[in-house]
């Protein structure tokens, strides 16, 4: 009898441990964003400004879940503000607008924010096998162990200064999606083998074209940074898909189709063609 009681108590405790986070999540999702929080989304997520009410509600729900689940850590003396939390969560959740279900980057635990570009140790191996250790200035970095690191100074830039085609948040969170498939290799989880076949065919072709453009110094809608490897190509193309959808669709129609099928949203609905920047992208820093 005692054993049965102990077991049932243990069972109840287990249920409680499982139920409390669910209850907290439900409560967090039920609480609407405050007016000042919505104002930050309006100000710093330009796609949100152009969304219909249903899409806005979807983004707000994803943002609430993001803020509930992820820890923000200020680095190098930076104090995390609502402006930072809402701006980063709002932009990161754009990538999930068409996703099935409400999961928000399940492998991600923490977003580390530096005031500006940060130094990270890098190990380089040249063709002769010589290893050099150096420190590199980075604007953002995505890790498969549950961390994204961002320079707040560069998160604020999209739409505000001279490089709207870059978006370090979209870039790093594209890497997060990419790594969910088990390897960060430019192919996120796609489902069927046919989808992988078509993805690989289209992206390989455009990746090769971008490498050629980078070699000859020809500027286009895709940043030459994406010519490094397929993972960077996917991240750079994701930036263009959400920031310059009309230009990407007209110059890379097949790539745009693949991204429509993957992201299950059409960002052209959130931006008029004439609002897109007409100049081409230029590298103004480096991220991983």
Residue nearest to Zn ion (CB): 235
Question: At residue 170, what are phi and psi to the nearest 5 degrees?
Answer: -55, -40
Among 73-81, 94-102, 195-203, 224-232, the segment contacting Zn ion (CB under 5 A): 224-232
How far is Cα 56 from Cα 86, in angstroms, rounded to an integer?
A: 14
Q: How far is the CB of 231 from Zn ion (least distance, A)?
A: 7
Q: How far is the CB of 169 from Zn ion (least distance, A)?
A: 12
Of 58 and 154, the one with the shorter C-beta distance to Zn ion is 154
Q: How far is the CB of 286 from Zn ion (least distance, A)?
A: 9
The two three-digit tokens of residue 145, written as one number: 């162990």
Of 37 and 232, the one with the shorter C-beta distance to Zn ion is 232
Q: How far is the CB of 153 from Zn ion (least distance, A)?
A: 18
Give 52: exposed, middle or buried? Use CB within 10 Å, 0-12, 13-18, 19+: exposed
CA proximity to 104, closest of 115, 116, 90: 90
Q: How far is the CB of 167 from Zn ion (least distance, A)?
A: 12
How far is Cα 266 from Cα 97, in angstroms, rounded to an integer?
A: 10
Residue 169 engages Zn ion in binding (rule: CB under 5 A): no
Cβ within 8 Å of residue 181, ≥6 positions away:
187, 188, 189, 190
In the shown chain, the binding pattern of residues 227 to 266 toward Zn ion, with x for contact by CB under 5 A and - for none, equals -----x--x-------------------------------
Of 199 and 234, the one with the shorter C-beta distance to Zn ion is 234
**Do 154 and 171 meet the contact criterion of CB atoms below 8 Å apart?**
no
Chain residues binding Zn ion by CB under 5 A are 232, 235, 288
């Amino acid at each position: 009898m005692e054993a049965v009681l102990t077991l049932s108590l243990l069972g109840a405790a287990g249920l409680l441990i499982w139920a409390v986070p669910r209850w907290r999540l439900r409560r967090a999702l039920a609480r609407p964003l405050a007016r000042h929080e919505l104002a930050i989304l309006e100000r710093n997520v330009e796609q949100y400004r152009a969304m219909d009410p249903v899409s806005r509600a979807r983004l707000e729900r994803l943002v609430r879940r993001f803020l509930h689940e992820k820890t923000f850590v200020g680095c190098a003396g930076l104090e995390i503000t609502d402006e930072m939390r809402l701006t980063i969560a709002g932009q990161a959740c754009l990538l999930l607008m068409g996703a099935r279900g409400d999961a928000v980057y399940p492998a991600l635990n923490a977003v580390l924010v530096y005031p500006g570009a940060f130094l990270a140790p890098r190990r380089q191996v040249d063709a002769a096998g010589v290893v050099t250790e150096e420190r590199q200035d980075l604007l953002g970095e995505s890790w498969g162990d549950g961390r994204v690191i961002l320079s707040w100074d560069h998160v604020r830039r999209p739409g505000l200064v001279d490089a709207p085609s870059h978006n370090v948040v979209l870039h790093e969170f594209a890497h997060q999606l990419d790594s969910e498939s088990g390897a960060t290799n430019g192919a996120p989880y796609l489902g069927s083998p046919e989808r992988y076949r078509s993805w690989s065919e289209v992206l390989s072709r455009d990746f090769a074209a971008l490498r050629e453009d980078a070699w000859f110094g020809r500027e286009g809608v895709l940043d030459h940074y994406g010519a490094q490897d397929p993972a960077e190509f996917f991240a750079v193309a994701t930036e263009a898909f959400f920031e310059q959808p009309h230009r990407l669709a007209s110059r890379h129609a097949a790539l745009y189709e693949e991204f429509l099928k993957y992201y299950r949203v059409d960002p052209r609905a959130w931006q008029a063609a004439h609002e897109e920047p007409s100049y081409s992208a230029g590298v103004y820093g480096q991220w991983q």
